[in-house]
Structure 1
C-alpha cells in the first residue's frame, strides 16, 4: 500500500518541469492525478503516458490560467474527470504549481501589462482555484502552494515575480487558519535553483553550476524530484500536524559565508 493510495490530486502546470515531477511522484505514491496544463498537448499526453506506463493513474486537464473563468474551467474539468474514473468528484490534494516568470521584473523596467499577467497567473489563479476546490475537499485534504526562494533572496530582475510568491506565502497562512477546523492543511514549498527544460540553458553551463555550488549549503542544482519529494510528504498522512508553513526547498541557498577569513 503506497502512501497516497485511493487519494486524488490536482497539480496545475503539471505537464513540464517541477509540475511534471510532482505529478509523477504523487502517482507513484498511489494517487489518481489530474495533470493540468495550459497549451502543450504533447507534453501533457507524454506526462500521462509516462505515469500510466509506470503503473499509475492520471488524466490531463487543459485550461488557460490568468483569464476570466479560469478556476471554474479547471475545477469543472477535474470534477468531471474524477467522476468518470471514481464515481465522485472528491479532491484530496491541490498543488498550485503553475506560474509565469516572463517579465523584466525590475522597478525601473517592469510594464503594467507584464505585471498584471504575473499576478493574474501566479496569485489570482491559485486564490480562486483554492476557493473552487475547497467544496470538493474534506478532512485530510492537503493544499500545497509552490512558492520560491526569491521571497527570501533579493535577486536582480525578480522583483515583480518575488512579489507574487510573497503573496502566495500570505495566502497560505490565512487559508490555513481558516480551513484548519475542517482538517485541511495548507503549506508552501519554496524551491531554489532547479533544473528543468526551461532553466537548463542558464543552469547547465559549468560557470553556472559553480556559482550555485558556491552559494548553497548543498552544492548542486536542484531537480524536480527534489521538490516533488517534499510535496509528496506534505500531501501524505505524516504531515497532518504541519500547516501554514513555508518549507524552504532551496538546498540551503544564500545562507551566508561558508567560512570566514
Structure 2
C-alpha cells in the first residue's frame, strides 16, 4: 500500500473533524506498525505538504501537520463513501449521466486527464468519446476548461436497450467482483491480518484496502448487476471488523498521539 493512502486513512479515522495538528513522531510510530519506514513516512508527509494536502506547524523543535481544505475534501468524500452512501445502489429510478466529447488531436494531455476524472467519478466508456455513469452526476468540475468540445446529458434507457449488456460492456464487472471476493477472502476469517502487531495496524490495513476498493466502484444499479454480487457482503465484513478493532485502536492512538490545537483550521 502507498504510504499516502495509509496516512489519509489515519487522518480520516483519527484527525478529521478534531481541529488538531499531529506530530511527525506520531505518524512514524503509527505507520511502523504496517511496515512503513520512518524515512518513507517523513518523505510522504513532505510530499503531501507540497501537494497542498497537509500544512506544517512548528512548536518548539517539533513539527506538526494539519489538514488543508484539499485534504478535508478528500477525507469528507472518504467518510461519505465508507459510512453513508454504501456500496449498494438500489435507487428506483434508472437514470444515467452521459458525457460526449470530441477534443482536438493535439489535446492528448487534456483527453488523458478527462478520462482519469471520468473513471474517478464512476463513468465507464460506451464507445470512444461517449461515457456513462449511474445517477445524476454534476459534471461541472469534470469538464472545466474543455469548452464546447464536451456535451453532458441526463438520460433514461428505453426499449430495446439492454442495460445489463451496456453495463457489462462499459465496466469491468468481472475484475471488480473479483476484488470484492478477494477482500472477503482476506478479511472474513478468524484471524484477519495475522502478521499485524495490533488492532491499530489491522484497522489501517482494513480501511485503506476498503477505500481503494470502493473508490473503484461506480455504484452501479443493483438491478443491472449479477445476482451474486459480493459488494454488500464485503461491506458488512469491513464495518464489523472496524467495530471489533475500535476499542484497542482507540487505546493505542490515545497513547501515541502527540497533537496540538489547529488554530488556523478552515472548514
- TM-score with structure 2 length normalisation? 0.27
Which protein has greater RCO, CA pairs closer than 8 Å, 6+ apart? 2
- Larger-Rg structure: 2
- TM-score with structure 1 length normalisation? 0.28
